[in-house]
């Protein structure tokens, strides 16, 4: 899973897809996840980094991850 290279992400959490003209807002954790994906980390490595940084149960992280990925796919943000 990889974020499209054309997706612009601002420090304030605004995502812009120049192919569609759509823009989205994201919370700080979502921005962190997008940054990990930009670094081309595997989902497993990205989740491990999040588990080490935040107090979150693995099942909750998996659910939230799946929800975010589904939204990104729906809005054509992933390659």
pLDDT tens column, 21-63: 999 999 989 998 888 888 888 899 999 999 999 999 999 999 9
pLDDT value at residue 45: 93
Entry pTM: 0.82
For the CA atoms of 24, 25, 31, 34, what is the dihedral angle to 10 degrees? -10
- Tokens for 31, please give them: 């921005």
CA dist., res. 34 & res. 36, Å (int):
5
Mean pLDDT of 4-29: 92
Contacts of residue 36, defined as CB under 8 A and 6 or more positions apart, other chains included, come to 45, 46, 49, 50
CA dist., res. 38 & res. 59, Å (int):
24
Biggest CA pair distance of the chain:
36
């Amino acid at each position: 899973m990889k974020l499209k290279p054309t997706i612009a992400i601002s420090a304030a959490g605004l995502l812009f897809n120049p192919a569609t003209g759509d823009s989205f807002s994201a919370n700080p954790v979502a921005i962190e996840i997008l940054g990990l994906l930009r670094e081309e980390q595997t989902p497993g490595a990205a989740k491990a980094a999040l588990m080490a940084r935040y107090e979150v149960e693995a099942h909750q992280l998996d659910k939230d991850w799946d929800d975010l990925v589904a939204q990104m796919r729906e809005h054509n943000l992933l390659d």
